[in-house]
Amino acid sequence: MNLGDCLYGPLEPAETADVLMALGIPTVCGNEDRILFQNSSGTSPSPTRAFTLSRLSPAHVAWLRALPATLVAGNVYLCHGTPRSDTQYLLHDSTGDGVALRTLSGIHRELDGITCPLILCGHDHIQQRIRLPDGRLIVNPGSVGLPAYRDDDPPAHVMEAGSPHARYSIVTGGTGEWNVEEISVGYDWDAASDRARRNGRPDWAAWLRTGRAT
Ligand SMILES: [Mn+2]
């Protein structure tokens, strides 16, 4: 399952789209997917958005446009940010004094009405699992393609996995408690970093090479 933010960035959006479209797995739309098909008039022009769109075919963009914001697959609920927003973190609060794990009551409030025992989210790029007192498990599998970033939108903050590995998670079980395997995959991050630099994003280049954004 794919929690969104699939293609945006200075790397290989068309090649990524081809892989994901062929996989045909349950996928929700992230905010960075949405901005690729929404009208951008009124917002400041983004060279990275323009780069990404220059590489994508109409079929790639149509695939993004058709992605649902949230999805129920069996007994699993998928959202990118929270059930109501693709730009809010479910598991973290960013306050301007840094980023903190969200309180259980704060997470519980966001998930009011979600009855699935397993809830998957993305958006903050941090591999994490939180078990609510009522037994529901929330898993953020981490980010395959961007292990750290700085967000300058207020409140400005950084998110950091701490190493450049690509991340995903495997969740099994469901008859009792879930098991979560959190995977960190080594790959040629120097090549990815070089590509980001060539495509005009020295900040992404540093994040990809180190998994740090400070
Ligand atoms: Mn996002």
Q: What is the CATH number of the domain that holds 44?
A: 3.60.21.10
Separation CA 6–CA 26 (nearest Å): 13
Which pLDDT value is given to residue 42? 66
Separation CA 19–CA 188 (nearest Å): 18
Which residues span the domain enclosing 162?
13-210
- Judge whether 90 and 104 are in contact, CB under 8 Å: no
Ligand 1 center to 88 CA (angstroms): 8
Q: Tokens in use for 203?
A: 């900040």
- Judge whether 120 and 3 are in contact, CB under 8 Å: yes
Which pLDDT value is given to residue 94? 85
Ligand 1 center to 94 CA (angstroms): 14
Ligand 1 center to 86 CA (angstroms): 6
Ligand 1 center to 80 CA (angstroms): 7
Global model pTM greater than 0.85: yes
Ligand 1 center to 175 CA (angstroms): 31
Residue whose C-alpha is closest to residue 109's, from 127, 135, 91, 86: 91
Determine, yes or no, domain membership for 39. Answer: yes
Determine, yes or no, domain membership for 204. Answer: yes
Ligand 1 center to 49 CA (angstroms): 14
Determine, yes or no, domain membership for 51. Answer: yes
Q: How many domains does the chain have?
A: 1
What are the backbone angles phi and psi of residue 3, rounded to the nearest 5°?
-95, 10
Ligand 1 center to 21 CA (angstroms): 19
Ligand 1 center to 124 CA (angstroms): 7
- Report how far apart, in Å, the C-alpha atoms of 145 and of each of 29, 74, 204 are: 16, 27, 10
Determine, yes or no, domain membership for 206. Answer: yes
Determine, yes or no, domain membership for 2. Answer: no
Determine, yes or no, domain membership for 46. Answer: yes
Determine, yes or no, domain membership for 153. Answer: yes
Ligand 1 center to 29 CA (angstroms): 9
Determine, yes or no, domain membership for 168. Answer: yes
pLDDT in tens, the chain (214 residues): 999 999 999 999 999 999 999 999 999 999 999 999 998 776 677 899 999 999 999 999 999 999 999 999 999 999 999 999 999 999 999 887 789 999 999 999 999 999 999 999 999 999 999 999 999 999 999 999 999 999 988 889 999 999 999 999 999 997 889 999 999 999 999 999 999 999 999 999 999 999 999 8
